[in-house]
Amino acid sequence: MKETKQQKIVKMFDNIAPTYDKANRVLSMGVDIQWRKKACDETFERYRKPVNLIVDVACGTGDMMGYWQKRADKMSIKVKKIMGVDPSVGMVEVGKDKFPDFEFVISEATDLPLGDESVDILSISYGIRNVVQREKAFEEFARVIKKGGYVVILEFTKDDKKGSLHAIKDFYMNKILPKIGGFISKNKEAYEYLPNSIEGFLTSDMLQAELDNAGFITEFAKSFSMDISTLVIAKKR
């Protein structure tokens, strides 16, 4: 039976799971940590209700789940439960070792094992780009998030800007990143996929428009580090 595009992407993440965290820290030079903290803090500033459930979709090895807990503790916010959802068994196994107290579930973003309007905050960090049926996933997010709850997206969005700084960024993403990522993971193809997937993805405005169509309204949108990464926080109408 022929593999689907989505299955091929999941298998790729299974293969790079053991070195994923190390490659991430090296390739981002650690700045993704600040982006993740910003996402948590901005969301908690907006959501003033009791937080029963935070779900991190495409959770990978659980990094974002860890930051939700750390930032909640710092802001004295009680979060009853944090759950991670990912289709990659390899990534989740690493996550379970790192965070034994969190719940992890193997599932696709388009078919979440959650009840209607059961989630206070749903995040997806550098994962929506890898969901083939993205609009279906957004509809699923709208189904499980409570009215007034939030979807929080961190992603490498497409950048149509020109200039010397952006040329440097493109050179790094297309020439340097695949070599370093390939060296660390021994899987150059996986890190050649990254810049290609960004080029084929959405701009920040296009992403917000798709969220709007799914029933969300953007309350915060900001790009970081020469527009390499974009944070979008949107409230369910």
CATH number of the domain at 15, please: 3.40.50.150
Residue 137 sits in which domain range? Answer: 5-159+203-236
Coil, strand or helix: which one is 31? coil
State residue 160's pLDDT score: 65
**Per-residue model confidence (pLDDT) at position 202:** 86
Within-domain flag for 174: no
Is 94 part of any domain? yes
The span from the CA of 43 to the CA of 181, in Å, is 31
Number of domains in the chain: 1
22 within some domain: yes
Q: Where do the H-state alpha helices sit in 111-203?
A: 134-144, 164-171, 177-185, 188-199
CA–CA gap between residue 123 and residue 176 (Å, rounded): 29
**Positions of the chain with pLDDT under 50:** none
Closest CA to 149 of 116, 179, 174, 184: 116
